[in-house]
């Protein structure tokens, strides 16, 4: 794809654990939109919210194993290392300060996250900092939760990936990524019931989970 400027994307998640439902759609997205890098941003889950089963160190170790040797990906631990809840808006503001105002930046979310985006801190301001790239996710329709969110989406939508390279921020791209019916919840539940998880996540991550005895106790 011919592009004006390199497009760098960020992909936040709890990654408890990271799985092929994260990895395969974003790899397809990179090919579709010409992403030069995808930075994975594991979340710090605030104390008042249900806690991940894996420790922060284990979640990071699994992400590292999943992306080892793949130059498309890197890892940013800034949200994980904060003591306070990490709002995407704040993370993107900090990134803008180091990268400057001109570099095209994109934030990747799954379709389920888009439907309730109006609950995110300063959601309408996100597009002043980044483009938004949305992955398809099986089981979710396009029914946004509020008319305000629908209007905002329509206003900023583009079907042309070249526009993502032509400006630093401000567009929403709904990508036709492959549908993978995999969730971290399903993987944890399968483990709780002693069911196999082969093919749902990278073998090295599954080996780590087995070695650490993770997701055994519901």
SS3 label, residue 107: strand
Strands (E), the chain: 7-13, 35-42, 73-75, 105-110, 131-135, 172-174
Closest residue to ligand ATP, Cβ-based?
Answer: 110
Contacts of 194 (CB under 8 A, 6+ apart): none
Q: Does 109 bind ligand ATP (CB under 6 A)?
A: yes
Q: Does 73 bind ligand ATP (CB under 6 A)?
A: no
CA distance 63 to 120: 24
Round to the nearest angstrom and report the end-to-end CA distance of the chain: 46
Q: Does 33 bind ligand ATP (CB under 6 A)?
A: no
Toward ligand ATP, which CB reaches closer, 7 or 109? 109
Question: What is the x/- site pattern for ligand ATP, positions 150-189, by CB under 6 A?
Answer: ------------------------------x-xxxx----
* Member of 113, 172, 208, 215 binding ligand ATP (CB under 6 A): 113
Contacts of 14 (CB under 8 A, 6+ apart): 42, 43, 45, 52, 59, 184
* Member of 32, 112, 124, 166 binding ligand ATP (CB under 6 A): 112
- Give the interface with ligand ATP as residue ranges (CB under 6 A): 13-16, 21-22, 25, 109-110, 112-113, 135, 137, 180, 182-185
């Amino acid at each position: 794809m011919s592009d004006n400027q390199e497009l760098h994307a960020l992909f936040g998640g709890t990654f408890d654990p990271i799985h092929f439902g994260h990895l395969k759609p974003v790899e397809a997205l990179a090919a579709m939109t010409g992403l030069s890098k995808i930075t994975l941003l594991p979340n710090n889950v605030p104390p008042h919210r249900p806690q991940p089963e894996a420790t922060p160190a284990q979640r990071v170790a699994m992400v590292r194993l999943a992306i080892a040797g793949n130059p498309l990906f890197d890892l940013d631990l800034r949200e994980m290392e904060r003591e306070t809840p990490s709002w995407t808006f704040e993370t993107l503001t900090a990134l803008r300060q180091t990268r400057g105002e001109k570099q095209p930046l994109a934030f990747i979310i799954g379709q389920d996250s888009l439907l309730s985006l109006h609950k995110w801190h300063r959601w309408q301001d996100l597009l002043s900092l980044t483009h938004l790239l949305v992955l398809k996710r099986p089981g979710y329709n396009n029914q946004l939760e509020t008319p305000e969110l629908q209007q905002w989406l329509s206003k900023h939508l583009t079907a042309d990936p070249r526009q993502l390279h032509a400006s630093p921020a401000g567009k929403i791209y709904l990508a036709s990524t492959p549908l993978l019916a995999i969730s971290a919840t399903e993987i944890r539940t399968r483990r709780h019931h002693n069911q196999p998880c082969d093919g749902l996540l990278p073998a090295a991550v599954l080996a780590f989970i087995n070695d650490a005895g993770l997701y055994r106790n519901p």
